[in-house]
Amino acid sequence: MRKNVDKRHFTIEKKLNRRDFLRVFGLGAASLAAAGMPRVIFAGRQSKGPNVLFIGVDDLRPQLGCYGHRQMLSPNIDSLASQGVIFLRSYCQVPVCGASRASLLTGVRPCRDRFIGYDTWAEKDLPGGLTLPKHFKNNGYHSISNGKIFHHTNDCRDSWSQSPWRPKGPWRNYLTEKNRQLDRTVGSGPAFESADVPDNAYFDGMIADKAISDLRRLKNMDKPFFLALGFLKPHLPFNAPKKYWDLYKEKDIDLADNPFRPKGAPDAALHNWGELRSYADIPKKGPLPEKTARTLVHGYYACVSYTDAQIGRVLAELDRLGLRDDTIVVLWGDHGWSLGEHGLWCKHCNFETSLHSPLIVRAPGVSGPKKTNALTEYLDIYPSLCELCNLPIPAHLEGKSFVPLLKNPDIPWSKAVFSRYYNGDSVKTDRYRYTEWRRKSGEVYARMLYDHSVDLVENVNISELPRNKELVQKLSKMLESVRFNR
């Protein structure tokens, strides 16, 4: 036994510096002690503890009705928001799915050799790290993963009380034979599909079916549950049942108002949106034809409405089973998404479109609707759920519980939040977004600064204006205070 423990310590220490090592591994004793905690008082009565319904939506930008977007039809998410708190300025740590999820689920920031790309494995980048679902499992919760929670189904497998589940089949989930054939022979089909099929013919409908089945079983358990649902749309390809495409008229779809490179933006800020270009019907270089762009935005809208309907089915079942008053619901998207802004598509950049991400929380005892403009990060979700459920907050967490905001959304809060994508470190303050790109040596080779009080859509980089020299230095020091290559 002792030999195994020593080997595990060595594995972690190779990946982390001494401070990180102590923070991550120092939580073990608290976690073990908490496993024997007495039953907590919740909602004013003796209880086995609140349940958690943890809903992640892949590539969901905050383009929802409850965020003020009139074209988007998202009635079920909007209804959830009307019963809870909407975080209007919530930000992911990394604008790519695998790394963002690994950071959120471990409560640890990204750095140069940790949580980098879409295919991140949390257990490889942070061996021995205590994940959010494992912490709940260790404290008496029955934890379940349905759909895409970690990027890899088997990542941190010991976080769950039962084997993680995803629908079977090729991940692009084409249903028409023509597109399936293209996917098999060419390696990718079109960037969208509109099959006339029932909701559960595509994966997200299957995930909702599985969640509903699980809720019926979990209701009668003698322990609380942590049920994680990872919906796959609106990730590419934009495949959704035809009826959700029919909700929108393509001619009425709005395209980006700023489909051009920001004035003064460095090359480091831009990319060739390779994820989208890998699809069969997308040109390999140059801008998209307007018709293609409009169809893609249409497809994104259809997919959001499709997934919204599946979320509505799950929430309706939660109510039907009488579980609402005992269940905390957290809805998040793993990062934002570009729909032609700055000539970009997908994520993979340090602009607001990729970093600004939705977050909605409904909790028993918290009245809604409420909105908060407080700056929050996805790192804040882990400690907040711990506090809401009366669990110890592990010492390694780098976020800040936002529970006070659920009661009073207007109280003073964080001065800044931080994100990273490869060499680009970004800080968002109340007024500004500043990003700088550094080589491994520490040399800054590119930067950009946007004043969100007059340029929220980030069309003019003002980092090189002489009048902003001191401001740039100040914001750079803020980045240094949480330097990700520590």
Taking only Cα atoms into account, the Rg of the chain, rounded to an integer number of angstroms, comes to 22
pLDDT for the residue 187: 87
Contacts of 466 (CB under 8 A, 6+ apart): none
pLDDT for the residue 65: 97
Q: Which one from 97, 346, 386, 389 is the annotated catalytic residue?
A: 97
pLDDT for the residue 47: 53
Q: Which amino acid is at 76?
A: N
For residue 409, is the peptide bond before it cis, meaning its omega torsion is within 30 degrees of 0?
Answer: no
- The torsion defined by the Cα of 153, 156, 160 and 164, in degrees rounded to 10, comes to 10
Per-residue model confidence as pLDDT tens for the chain (486 residues): 323 323 322 233 334 443 443 344 333 333 333 333 333 334 333 357 899 999 999 999 999 999 999 999 999 999 999 999 999 999 999 999 999 999 999 999 999 999 999 999 999 999 999 999 999 999 999 999 999 999 999 999 999 999 999 999 999 999 999 999 999 998 889 999 999 999 999 999 999 999 999 999 999 999 999 999 999 999 999 999 999 999 999 999 999 999 999 999 999 999 999 999 999 989 999 999 999 999 999 999 999 999 999 999 999 999 999 999 999 999 999 999 999 999 999 999 999 999 999 999 999 999 999 999 999 999 999 999 999 999 999 999 999 999 999 999 999 999 999 999 999 999 999 999 999 999 999 999 999 999 999 999 999 999 999 999 999 999 999 999 887 544
- How, if at all, do strands 432-438 and 444-451 pair? antiparallel
pLDDT for the residue 3: 30
Contact assessment for residue 263 and residue 459, using Cβ atoms and an 8 Å cutoff: yes
Boundaries of every domain in the chain: 2-36+48-409
DSSP state of 165: B
The b-or-e profile of 410-448 (16+ CB within 10 A means b, else e) is: eeebbebbbbbbbbbbbbbbeebbbbbbbeeeeeeebbb
pLDDT for the residue 361: 98
At 329, list the tokens: 């619901």
- The torsion defined by the Cα of 342, 343, 348 and 354, in degrees rounded to 10, comes to 40
- How, if at all, do strands 416-421 and 424-429 pair? antiparallel
Q: Which one from 135, 142, 151, 348 is the annotated catalytic residue?
A: 151
Query: Which CATH number does the domain 2-36+48-409 belong to among 3.10.450.40, 3.40.1160.10, 3.40.50.300, 3.40.720.10?
Result: 3.40.720.10
d(CA 234, CA 337): 10
Contact assessment for residue 426 and residue 350, using Cβ atoms and an 8 Å cutoff: yes
Instruction: Report the candidate in 113, 292, 323 with the shortest Cα–Cα distance to residue 190.
Output: 292
Q: What are phi and psi of 213, to 5 degrees?
A: -60, -45
Contact assessment for residue 465 and residue 447, using Cβ atoms and an 8 Å cutoff: no
Q: Which amino acid is at 132?
A: L
Give 3-state DSSP helix, strand, coil % of the chain, rounded to 5: 35, 20, 45
pLDDT for the residue 484: 55
Alpha carbons within 13 A on the beta-carbon side of 446: 14
pLDDT for the residue 41: 34
d(CA 253, CA 7): 57
Residue 389 catalytic? no
d(CA 67, CA 297): 18
pLDDT for the residue 48: 75
In sequence order, the β-bridge partners of residue 372 are: 87
At 261, list the tokens: 């490179």
Alpha carbons within 13 A on the beta-carbon side of 397: 25
CA angle 470, 475, 480 (to 5 degrees): 120
Helix segments in 54-131, DSSP class H: 75-82, 97-106, 122-125
Contact assessment for residue 449 and residue 462, using Cβ atoms and an 8 Å cutoff: yes
Residue 303 catalytic? no
